[in-house]
């Protein structure tokens, strides 16, 4: 089997290539299994790749693109630019790319200019005001905010670097991050924490357990509670129960940390610990706990709360729903590939009825049936913030489809909706058709992979296209 490489937000994945009529294509539904938010693909020349069409100019189903097995295709999603005007979606994407490249070219020049002006200012000060001249502090340009020049108060010294090497810790100076390769013993953790206390390091990655024992882990946890500089902590290996408890306990007190990422399949117990921390700490911007390797810092996921491919059941869904009701930082939420059934979906639906901050919700590949779909549909009649919803790969049938159709006739906020690969038949599809014919706000809608006949599927496309000509399927 051959593959097409697709890159999206720093992550590169292999998508299987399908052969249809002796031609190689990439199916959009296969892309969405890995990157559900991608709406536009660009070639290496930044040219939008068009969907294949028939002789009449209609898109062929299932939606497909020509494969370029020797190239890497770049994906874009609604989060990358304003695609509210569907007829100009690809133009917006291309424009965004040009603007980004221009910014990347100008930023280094701007940084050099600011540094040059600063040095001139210091020389003028020492020349015309000698009595007040002092030794200039060591300075650096803050590349995250090129308009500011900040003082480097506590750099990592040569002695610190030697100590880090002895502990098999890599110092990524440009990112101001430490990469810990093995568990540390208590004495090493004390030295490690002393370096963190200097206030220069902003990110830490653990590629194994934190410490050899509870004592070493506690030393790091106590440092994390009061650390005012660290913004990102990543754990690239499953943690012990005592380590998870120590980290979540520290999160309740730390007021500066912005992102915590973990790898490892978690249960409802760990979910509850995370939820309790988020109820207290409402400043943290991102919690990622996925059952696969965490990307590097420059490839960070876009979700605020991501718990993908875990063992979260309805019990865990209940505590997570309680967080959604109170934490205003959480805008993009991903609970896909878990064990959430309709009961868990009801808890989340109740939270959506009160929440006006979540804009993206992914519940794909769970065990949600009709009752859960009905609850979510009722919530979206009230909710005015969710613009992206993914329910693909569940067990939703005709009763759920009827409720969804009624919701679509009333909802004016939803723009991107995955309902593919469920158990909807022609009967449920008719209800969805009615809702779609009354909805002019949807930009993309996925219904493939259900139990809908070709004739009904064609009828839905024809009737809905008369009302919403810009809708992509």
Mean pLDDT to the nearest integer, 220-235: 91
Name, of 5-9, 158-162, 267-271, 324-328, the range with top average pLDDT.
267-271
- CA atoms of 333 and 67, how far apart (whole Å): 31
Q: How far apart are CA 430 and CA 328, in angstroms?
A: 37
Residue 28: which of 79, 66, 80 has the closest Cα? 66
CA dihedral 201, 205, 209, 213 (to 10 degrees): 0
3-state secondary structure of 405: helix
Task: Give the chain's mean pLDDT.
Answer: 82
Structure confidence by residue, pLDDT tens digits, 274-316: 889 888 888 888 888 887 654 433 344 566 888 899 999 999 9
| pLDDT value at residue 360 | 93
Q: Are 286 and 303 in contact (CB under 8 A)?
A: yes
| pLDDT > 80? residue 233 | yes
81 vs 9, residue with greater confidence = 9
Confidence at 394, pLDDT banded by 50, 70, 90? very high
Give the lowest-confidence range in 22-26, 39-43, 240-244, 440-444. Answer: 39-43
> What is the arithmetic mean of pLDDT over 321-343?
91
Band (108; pLDDT cuts 50, 70, 90): low
* pLDDT at residue 81, as a whole number: 47
Strands 416-418 and 388-390: parallel
Judge contact between 260 and 230, C-beta under 8 A: no
In tens, the pLDDT along 257-266 reads 888 988 888 8
Task: Please report the pLDDT score of residue 21 as a whole number.
Answer: 81
Model pLDDT, residue 100: 46
What pLDDT score was predicted for residue 152?
42
122 pLDDT tier (thresholds 50, 70, 90) = low
pLDDT for 111: 65
Pairwise pLDDT comparison (75 vs 309), residue with the higher score: 309
Residue 444 pLDDT level (bands cut at 50, 70, 90): very high
Most confident of 25-29, 98-102, 179-183, 324-328: 179-183
Which of 47-51, 133-137, 196-200, 407-411 comes out lowest in average pLDDT? 133-137
Kindly list the domain boundaries of the chain, sorted by start residue: 3-80, 97-151
Residues in the chain: 473
């Amino acid at each position: 089997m051959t593959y097409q490489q697709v890159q999206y937000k720093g992550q590169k994945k292999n998508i299987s290539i399908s052969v249809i009529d002796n031609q190689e294509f990439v199916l959009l539904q296969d892309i969405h299994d890995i990157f559900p938010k991608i709406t536009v693909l660009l070639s290496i020349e930044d040219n939008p790749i068009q969907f294949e069409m028939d002789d009449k100019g209609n898109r062929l189903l299932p939606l497909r693109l020509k494969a370029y097995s020797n190239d890497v295709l770049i994906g874009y999603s609604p989060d990358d630019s304003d695609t509210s005007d569907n007829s100009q979606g690809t133009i917006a994407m291309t424009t965004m790319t040009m603007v980004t490249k221009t910014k990347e070219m100008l930023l280094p020049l701007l940084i050099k200019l600011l540094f040059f002006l600063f040095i001139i200012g210091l020389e003028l000060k020492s020349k015309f005001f000698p009595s007040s001249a002092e030794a200039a502090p060591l300075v650096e340009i803050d590349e995250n905010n090129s308009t500011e020049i900040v003082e480097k108060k506590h750099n990592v010294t040569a002695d610190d670097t030697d100590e880090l090497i002895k502990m098999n810790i890599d110092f990524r100076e440009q990112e101001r991050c430490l990469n810990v390769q093995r568990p540390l013993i208590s004495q090493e953790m004390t030295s490690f924490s002393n370096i963190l206390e200097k206030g220069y390091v902003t990110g830490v990655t653990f590629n194994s357990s934190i410490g050899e024992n509870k004592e070493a882990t506690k030393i790091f946890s106590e440092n994390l509670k009061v650390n005012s500089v660290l913004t990102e902590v990543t754990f690239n290996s499953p943690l012990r129960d005592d380590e998870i408890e120590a980290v979540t306990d520290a999160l309740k007190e730390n007021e500066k940390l912005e992102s915590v990422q973990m790898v490892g399949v978690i249960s409802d117990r760990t979910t509850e610990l995370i939820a309790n921390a988020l109820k207290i700490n409402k400043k943290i911007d991102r919690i990622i706990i996925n059952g696969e390797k965490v990307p590097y810092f420059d490839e960070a996921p876009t979700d605020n709360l991501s718990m993908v491919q875990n063992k979260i059941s309805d019990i865990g869904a209940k505590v997570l729903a309680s967080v959604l009701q109170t934490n205003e930082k959480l805008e993009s939420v991903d609970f896909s590939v878990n064990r959430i059934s309709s009961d868990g979906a009801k808890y989340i639906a109740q939270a959506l009825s009160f929440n006006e901050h979540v804009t993206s919700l992914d519940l794909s590949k769970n065990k949600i049936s009709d009752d859960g779909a009905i609850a979510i549909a009722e919530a979206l009649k009230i909710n005015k913030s969710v613009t992206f919803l993914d329910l693909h790969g569940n067990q939703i049938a005709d009763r759920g489809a009827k409720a969804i159709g009624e919701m679509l006739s009333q909802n004016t906020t939803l723009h991107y909706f995955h309902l593919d690969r469920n158990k909807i038949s022609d009967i449920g599809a008719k209800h969805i058709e009615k809702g779609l014919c009354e909805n002019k706000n949807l930009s993309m809608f996925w219904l493939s992979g259900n139990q809908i006949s070709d004739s009904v599927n064609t009828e839905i496309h024809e009737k809905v296209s008369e009302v919403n000509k810009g809708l992509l399927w």
